[in-house]
Structure 1
Amino acid sequence: MDYTRQTRFSDPRAHAPLFDALPDDPGGIGEVIRNIVVHYRASGIPFPPDRLTEIDSRWADRLLDADRRRFDTPLAEPRPPEQRIVGCCRDFTLLTVSALRHKGIPARSRIGFADYLDPHWHYDHVVAEYWDGARWVATDTQIDVADVRLAPGGLRPASQVWSSYRRGEIDVNQFGVDPGLDDVRGDWFVRNYVITELAHRHGDELLLWDLWGGMSRELTGDLTLIDEIADLLQSADAGDTTAERKLAEHYATDPRLHPGTHVTCASPVAPESQADLRREPTT
């Protein structure tokens, strides 16, 4: 996959000129993205319901629509936190990846669980990863952490967490959205995130609460398939081109892995609904 090319989710469309004035380096881009996005929970700001729906803006151009409704200034011009785009780690990452690709820098999003946000909990998290000419470098735009290790102590990709769980090495119930939320953690949650990790790797940068194919809210289905995909993801990360090719074949042909025309959006701020992925983003 050519990670310099925009996907249907990362494409800023009519808003692409806004990225022209951004810095050319990942750190500078991250600083601008933090100026325009605010986390819907971690900020502590009591956003009204109509603003919270911005977290379900699946496409980059719709996220930028939200900024344009309130501002007509360059993205680097300061925005008060309460007026920024309401999003989550996935949205900080999607806009970072979008801007990096706009600058011709190969970039993608990585799905996993962060060991560096809380010493007692492994929060689900998304970071951007870019190619610096020699290696892939992960960067956490949301909280400004550069060169995040994709390993214990940093961000553990969902594939790593799944394999560790299957080997009996971890308490998988310590991996999830929040220690106070019992219904979004554990084995089924990590299984779903392996599929999400695969989707993001192949340019379907869906919402963290989108469900499709082999996903469910309990641990059912063919776990050997998830074992295989997790192993291939880790091998591909290590540079195995054969594993990368097998992942692409699995993703293209297995309906348990790739989304079709619709996904179930189990939004944390709105009633569950069916989302049509064929709908073109507004411009």
Structure 2
Amino acid sequence: MRLIPFNLKIHMFLILFIITRCTNQEQKNRPPEHILAKYTGYSQYTDPGKFVYLFDGLPESLEELCNRIKKQLIHPYDIGQYIGKTPEDRIVEDQTIPTVSLMLAELLKRDENGLAPSRQPEDRLVVACVHHCMLFASICRHRGIPVRIRAGFAKYIGEDDRIRVSHVVCEVWDHEQNQWILVDPDRQRVDFPRHEFEFAYETWGRLRSNNLDKNQYVSRYKTVDQATVHLLCHDLSYVIGNEEPYWNDPSIVAKSQTGITGLSQNELELLDKISAFLKNPDVHLEELVNIQKVTPVLNDYEVM
């Protein structure tokens, strides 16, 4: 019988150890299959309905897909670039088309070619970042790609990278990298560094520890406190699979209008718990769903 040299045995053992360790780490990072499966299913807001056929033939790469989506939609932030190219009364259309199926119906009405790259500015929809994300998510879910929407503050909008702008992006499960990657279909950014987007739970933590410069945060709300509570509540909504329109806020958001000092101790602790769970929603999804279900101040939506 031929013996294997001792040094070769050690070498083989090390290789096996490294492979096993890497495999275990991948398994540790990968969410359970039922979690990934949840994010491949349509929500009431991302369901394309009878217009699903419009997704056939779209670009496969995420970069090209973002570009195609941007050929259909204009963010109100960018409307100044289209003066004279779009109807003067078309400023924001979010509330008239709150779902992907309604978006697709309106796009088809304006240009029968569907999601074509040649769509003219006057035939595009003027909608916010969440609509860009919903359309992107709908297409990905149609392809069986897990995706969820996340809320927070972007550090890359505008010329000053110190400024954080209220924004919504997507988390997409990348099977090759075995991790969630960030995609911003509105700004056409794919797999960008996570430190360039401050998740709502991060802002909440900084707010609670009095560790932020409120002059660096921009949103449609009067105070950073209220904007953060708004984004935290909607991040919860997005993560559990209910892309509630951003103009619908639970009452806890209104209570924070003058600052989080307007919230009770129980409400502060509630948001602390939500924030902690949103750091790792793959582990705490069940708890997040239950919190949303049984907490009245998170369900009594009102138009802001």
Range of TM-score over shorter length: 0.7 to 0.9
TM-score by length of 2: 0.77
Counterparts of 2:126 and 2:44 in 1: how far apart (Å)?
21
> Which range is displaced more, 80-89 or 156-165?
80-89
Q: What's the counterpart of residue 3 of structure 2?
A: none
Which residue identity does 1:55 align to in structure 2?
D
Is the contact made by 1:176 and 1:184 (CA closer than 8 Å) also made in structure 2?
no
Q: Which of 244, 255, 263 does residue 206 from structure 1 map onto?
A: 244
Report how far residue 11 of structure 1 moved.
0.5
Is the contact made by 2:148 and 2:238 (CA closer than 8 Å) also made in structure 1?
yes
Q: Which of 106, 111, 115 does residue 66 from structure 1 map onto?
A: 106
The alignment status of 1:126 with 2:168, answered yes or no, reads yes
> Which range is displaced more, 139-148 or 218-227?
218-227
Report how far residue 185 of structure 1 moved.
3.7
Q: Secondary structure at the match of 1:31?
A: helix
Q: Secondary structure at the match of 2:252?
A: coil
User: Where do 1:160-239 residues align within 5 Å?
Assistant: 160-177=202-219, 183-216=221-254, 217-218=257-258, 219=260, 220-221=262-263, 222-236=267-281
Larger Rg: 2
Identity %: 26
Q: Which of 43, 51, 65 does residue 29 from structure 1 map onto?
A: 65
Counterparts of 1:123 and 1:227 in 2: how far apart (Å)?
22
Is the contact made by 1:26 and 1:100 (CA closer than 8 Å) also made in structure 2?
no
Report how far residue 148 of structure 1 moved.
2.5
Report how far residue 53 of structure 1 moved.
4.9
Which residue identity does 1:136 align to in structure 2?
W
Task: Note closer, same or farther for the CA distance 1:148–1:207 as it changes in structure 2 (3 Å cut).
Answer: farther
Name the structure where helix makes up a greater proportion of residues.
Answer: 2
Q: What's the counterpart of residue 23 of structure 2?
A: none
- Misfit runs of 4+, over 6 Å: none
**Structure 2: segments with no counterpart, 5+ residues:** 1-34
Q: What's the counterpart of residue 251 of structure 1?
A: 292
Q: What's the counterpart of residue 137 of structure 1?
A: 181
Counterparts of 1:99 and 1:79 in 2: how far apart (Å)?
18
The alignment status of 1:265 with 2:303, answered yes or no, reads yes
**Structural RMSD (CA):** 2.0
Is the contact made by 1:173 and 1:185 (CA closer than 8 Å) also made in structure 2?
no
TM-score by length of 1: 0.82
Report how far residue 36 of structure 1 moved.
0.5
Per-residue CA deviations over 1:56-96 (Å, capped at 9, x if unaligned) read 12111111122112111031331122321111111111100
Report how far residue 173 of structure 1 moved.
4.3
Q: Secondary structure at the match of 1:126?
A: strand
